Each structure stands twice: as C-alpha cells, then as structure tokens.
Amino acid sequence: MEKITAYYCKHCKKLFRRNKHFCFKDVANKACATCDHYNGTDTIDVSNGLFSVKNTVSLCNYNYEDHIIAEHNYSGKFNVPFKKINGFRGYMCDWWKKRKDIKDEK
C-alpha cells in the first residue's frame, strides 16, 4: 500500500494533495470572497454583430462602480481582466476591505 497525504483547508473545507493552496476564502489573502466590495455575479449579453450570447461575470463594486473581476463565457473559457497573484485579480487586492460578516479565525 502506498501512503497518501492530504491537506485540509479550514476556509473552503476542501482536501488537497499538496500544501500550496492559496485559498480564495482566507481573509489573510485579501481575496474577493472576503471583501466588502464583492458584488456577486450577473449575466451580460455579448454581441459580435452575428450572434448574441450570455456571459456570467463576477463583479467588484469598488468606488460604487461595477468592475468585472472575472468573466465565464458560453464556451467555458474564463477571462480575468486584472491579474495579480496566481493569475487572478482577487488575491492580495489593493481595493480589498474586510467584509463585515467575516470573523477572524484564531
């Protein structure tokens, strides 16, 4: 038998093979999931003149303006217009402000 080691993330409640998980729900990572500016998702119509499709976008409401954090298009591709750590805008964000309903873990 082969020994298997797994690492448990207390923030997202998932198991990982390697201990290199940079969790989106960890307050220390200043990610969108814990930010007061996070405005959820919305559906937008995208048209190129020939046809129209609906894309799902994740929104940040920094300075009371909606900024698209990520876009999931009809073909399953994922576009992130602002990139930082690990290719995602949502980590170590300069706009981050702790959400009021998030408690500090000790």
Q: Calculate the CA 1 to chain-centre distance.
A: 38
**∠ CA 61-25-18, rounded to 5°:** 140
Is the pTM here over 0.85, yes or no?
no
| Residue pLDDT, tens place only, 58-91 | 888 988 888 877 777 766 565 555 555 555 556 7
Amino acid at 32: C
φ and ψ of 72, to 5 deg:
-110, 115
| Residue pLDDT, tens place only, 18-59 | 888 888 888 988 888 899 998 888 888 877 778 788 888 888
Beta bridge pairs of residue 38: 60
